[in-house]
Amino acid sequence: MNHSFNFSIEESEVCPGTVGLLIEDQPKLTTAHVRPFVWSILLFRGGVHSWEVVSVLSSVCSVEDMKINDEDDDDRNWAEICVDNVLAEMVIEGLLEYNQEKDIWVLRYTPKAVPVVIKAVSGVNGSIPKHFILEMSKGGFN
């Protein structure tokens, strides 16, 4: 039995919830949306540039999130602000360390960071970066 679920816009308005990918309204970007993108790059490479996260986000977020507000003195768009906030939170939590010379945020080993990193790894079904495992083996789990 072959079912076809191709609805026109008019038909989908009669039966809401059947449009699937035809959603035109995208939610405003928040730090909660940004965090998984930061983690995916960190777990892949162990370090992340803010522009990398913004670049990845640009393919999925609203055009409004990528516009610079001319009324503000800040020359960043909303996506950049959210990324910077997430990176700052992670520095405050002791998870990241900023390398000013290379302009990159690096995942930092501390015993306190281990449960957070394991939670992030299990959340995306990923793996712990090699440098983090090496530091963990040197520093112990205490």
Let me know if residue 127 belongs to a domain: no
> Residue 138: its pLDDT value, please?
86
Q: List the domain range (segments joined by +) for residue 72.
A: 27-108
How many independent structural domains does the chain possess? Answer: 1
> Residue 124: its pLDDT value, please?
85
> Residue 106: its pLDDT value, please?
95
3-state DSSP assignment of residue 9: helix
> Residue 70: its pLDDT value, please?
76
Let me know if residue 32 belongs to a domain: yes
Which CATH number does the domain housing residue 85 bear?
1.10.10
Give the C-alpha separation, 18 to 85, whole Å. 36
Let me know if residue 136 belongs to a domain: no
> Residue 21: its pLDDT value, please?
53
Question: Model's pTM, two decimal places?
Answer: 0.77
Let me know if residue 3 belongs to a domain: no
Let me know if residue 120 belongs to a domain: no
Task: Give the largest Cα separation in the chain, rounded.
Answer: 62
Q: Which of 80, 106, 78 is nearest to 91 (CA)?
A: 106
Which residue in the block uniquely carries the two structure tokens 């989908």? 12
Cβ-based burial of 39 (10 A; exposed 0-12, middle 13-18, buried ≥19): buried
> Residue 62: its pLDDT value, please?
87
Let me know if residue 99 belongs to a domain: yes
Give the C-alpha separation, 111 to 13, whole Å. 53
Let me know if residue 89 belongs to a domain: yes
Let me know if residue 75 belongs to a domain: yes
Average pLDDT per run of 10 along the chain, which is 142 residues long?
54 53 73 94 94 93 86 86 97 95 94 93 90 84 53
